[in-house]
Amino acid sequence: MGRLVMKFGGTSVANLDRIRNVAQHVKREVDAGHQVAVVVSAMSGKTNELVAWCRDASAIHDAREYDAVVASGEQVTSGLLAIALQAIGIQARSWQGWQIPILTSDAHASARIVDIDGSELIKRFEERKEVAVIAGFQGIHAETGRITTLGRGGSDTSAVAIAAAVKADRCDIYTDVDGVYTTDPRVVPKAKRLDKVAFEEMLELASQGAKVLQVRSVELGMVHNMPIFVRSSFDKPEDIDPHGTPPGTLICSEEKIMENHVVTGIAFSKDEAQISVRRIEDKPGVAASIFVPLAEANINVDMIVQSVSEDGRATDLTFTVPAADFARAKQTITSAQDKIGYASFDSETDVAKVSVIGSGMRSHAGVAAQAFRALAAKNINIRAITTSEIKFSVLIDAAYTELAVRTLHTLYGLDQA
């Protein structure tokens, strides 16, 4: 007997038939003797509808009330799933984030989990054999008593955090795909499903554009060493052996992976914007005059390239920000032009970031050089480059994204992985 947290995303609970299908997945694990907590997202499309309602009510609205509205989607799903479980003879009850409680910071719409008290859930597992059906994506700020939400994709984070709080053996993330692939199969049909991925690699994949898991959920898994299993909710519940290993991808510590590939996967993101601030006086504090205001505006800066003029008196700074933040980033910088002292501001929104990730890069030289040569052979110009110990990223024109991804996927032998 084990203890599992099962998380189901929006497409998995999109309607009552799918919610009943989820109930059968849960019943299978309960019948196998497992203690189960289920974390659910809002029904597919519901959060977008709630967000639109907030914006229609007022373009500028109170973030606290926004959270109160959008958190209701998960409340509906958790209640419906509890009803569906009870209908098939499973002892279950729904929980909202504030009832557990899931304590968070007060950064409404993007709160971070501070603490979770899992004691009552554990007590009910053991004394009542009760399934906990928990609304994901939400919590409560203790000092104000206000409902908070964790940002888009936050139900993944809820699930992993709850798994750590109740000392689960594993956190299963059920989604509309059957695991993590070497890249997006819609771009590269030969992409292969990975059996295991190290936390650190998955963190890079998620942060560089892979949509399977929210970055924060992977961080929590790594911190708490909580194995995360990504699997499909569309497999027939009756065809799955609860004591076996179904198709999927296990996210785990690197020690549990026998052999590390040089390259594990290729991620890409078209949600990028490039900004260049030109002819700034090259002196201490210039970078801070640009990046501190951006940080204060909660705008994440990714790739940074600095080039100094031949006479050493001026410098150009080029960097990328999420496309959704481009307008605010432009306004932040242009409003501080007098303080920064730049001569011109250039931008480009039709760009994409392609990233190559693999823990095997630590012990293999020339991995990036191979990519640069291959991209050059396809006449793909590289605008900027960033590297880390297990990853490098290139910024290219968006029109070449698919070609670049296919080229690199083949280059590193992932077509045959």
| Burial of 347 (C-beta count, 10 Å sphere; 0-12/13-18/19+) | middle
Binding residues for substrate: 47, 74
What is the Cα–Cα distance from 206 to 212, expressed in whole angstroms?
Answer: 7
CA distance 413 to 398: 24
Nearest CA among 78, 72, 73, 74 for reference residue 93: 78
As to burial, measured by CB atoms within 10 angstroms (0-12 exposed, 13-18 middle, 19+ buried), residue 52 is: exposed
Residue with tokens 């890069």: 361
- Which of 81, 66, 73 shows the shortest CA–CA distance to 43? 73
Question: Beta strand 138-141 with 131-135: parallel, antiparallel or unpaired?
Answer: unpaired
Q: What share of the chain is helix, strand, coil (3-state, %, to 5)?
A: 40, 25, 35
Q: Which two tokens stand for residue 8?
A: 């189901």
| CB 131 within 8 Å of CB 38 | yes
Closest CA to 149 of 235, 214, 84, 240: 214
342 contacts 277 by C-beta, under 8 angstroms: yes
Annotated binding site for ATP: 7-10, 175-176, 181, 186, 211-212
The residues that bridge with 269 in the sheet, in sequence order, are 353
Query: Checking DSSP bridges between strand 113-116 and strand 102-104, what pairing results, if any?
Result: antiparallel
Q: Which two tokens stand for residue 91?
A: 């002892």
In residues, how long is the chain? 417
Q: Kind of pairing, strands 3-8 and 170-175?
A: parallel
Cross-strand bridge partners of residue 316: 307
- C-alpha distances in angstroms, 206 versus 53, 55, 69, 286, 361? 29, 28, 28, 31, 18
Tell me the binding residues: 7-10, 47, 74, 175-176, 181, 186, 211-212
